[in-house]
Amino acid sequence: MINIGVIGYGYWGPNLARNFAETPGAYVAAVADLDDQKLEVVRRRYPTAKTTTRFQELLQDPSIDAIAVATPVRTHFELGMAALKSGKHLWLEKPMTETSLQARVLIDEADKRRLVLFVDHTFIYTGAIRKMVAIVKAGELGRIYYYDSIRVNLGLFQRDVSVISDLAVHDFSILDCLLAEHPTAVSASGINHFPGTPENLAYITLFYDSGTIAHANVNWLAPVKVRQILIGGSKKMITYDDLEPSEKIKVYDKGVSFTDDPQQIREMRIGYRTGDMWAPRLDLTEALRIEGEHFIDCIENSKVPQTDGRLGLRVVELIEAATNSMRCRGETVQLNAAGSSP
């Protein structure tokens, strides 16, 4: 049995505690939050769990094997580092840290101590994204021309992170799993409409050496909630709508073909192909449940998580690069072959 201590019981922490409580091999041993009223809820839901406003008590408890950190991003490094230094396996919420330097330090510490460092990029574990990744990796779409995402809604305005860190982070992690390459340049524009607050709207473009282009439109100031992705390939295309209850993914056998004949090229002869559409059946298991089981498996069997610190670092590096570009009004920021700033 892996005893888990959860730090942070605000919006997301309760989802972690609930899923760990239902995960075979895991036990919610303790919960820490600065707010004792939130801990009152914990005491009712998990009467056997220890509760405290001092996270240090979880770290000092030798019976706790792993710590899950679900506090604001600015606290991830300090809490994560303290957990690793206490010899605890670590689950960190996304994005793993504020800076790539902090992420690297955490990775080194976890490696040195042979501890599991898991980053909760939840979308990667949803049935829809897992299916999408499987279809793309099987080559069914052919060459990937573009990835186009829109994540907009009204709020929740964050005080410490921009909309890139809050919403585009999902596209960065999905792209990391979807494509066999990392972007080599990023350009982003964005704005904060309310002085003194982080940017609430951004348009981010990622460029890849293969010719793939990826774009994310993220916005906390939209009247409606939209969560859609389009992927265009040379053979097929995919649409993803996260708000669809069941048919979230649709695969379209549509495309275009250009002739090799020089005469016809001059005449712009393009063939349009429209075939069938199908909606694959999806595994509806809650992503956090799958993640919880994977986390326990990694701890028990010394495995590397699919969303390990290195994936978390690549995502933080993209957030940094996109933010730098945005603050220079869309200036292109070059990345090295590993997807990070040179």
Residue 227 found at the interface with ligand NAD (CB under 6 A): no
What binding mask, one character per residue, do residues 66-105 give for ligand NAD by CB under 6 A, x or -? ----xxxx-x-----------------xx-----------
Distance of CA 27 to the CA centre of its chain: 25
What binding mask, one character per residue, do residues 104-143 give for ligand NAD by CB under 6 A, x or -? ----------------x-x---------------------
Which CB, 64 or 73, lies closer to ligand NAD?
Answer: 73
Number of residues that bind ligand NAD (CB under 6 A): 22
Residue 55 found at the interface with ligand NAD (CB under 6 A): yes
Q: Do the beta carbons of residue 213 and residue 231 sit within 8 Å?
A: no
Which CB, 232 or 305, lies closer to ligand NAD?
Answer: 305
Amino acid making up residue 237: M
What binding mask, one character per residue, do residues 11-50 give for ligand NAD by CB under 6 A, x or -? xxx------------------xxxx--x------------
What stretches of 114-203 show up as alpha helix (H) in DSSP?
Answer: 127-137, 163, 169-178
Position with the least CB separation from ligand NAD: 10
What stretches of the chain show up as alpha helix (H) in DSSP?
Answer: 13-22, 36-45, 56-60, 76-85, 100-113, 127-137, 163, 169-178, 262-266, 287-301, 309-327
Joined tokens for residue 279: 């909606």
> In angstroms, what is the minimal distance from the CB of 336 to ligand NAD?
26
Which CB, 12 or 146, lies closer to ligand NAD?
Answer: 12
3 state DSSP class of 280: coil
Which CB, 94 or 130, lies closer to ligand NAD?
Answer: 94
Q: To which residue do tokens 């997301």 refer?
A: 12
Joined tokens for residue 237: 């295309």
Cα separation values, 231 from 132, 237, 252, Å: 10, 6, 10
Residue 8 found at the interface with ligand NAD (CB under 6 A): yes
3 state DSSP class of 168: helix
Contact residues: ligand NAD, CB under 6 A: 7-13, 32-35, 38, 55, 70-73, 75, 93-94, 120, 122
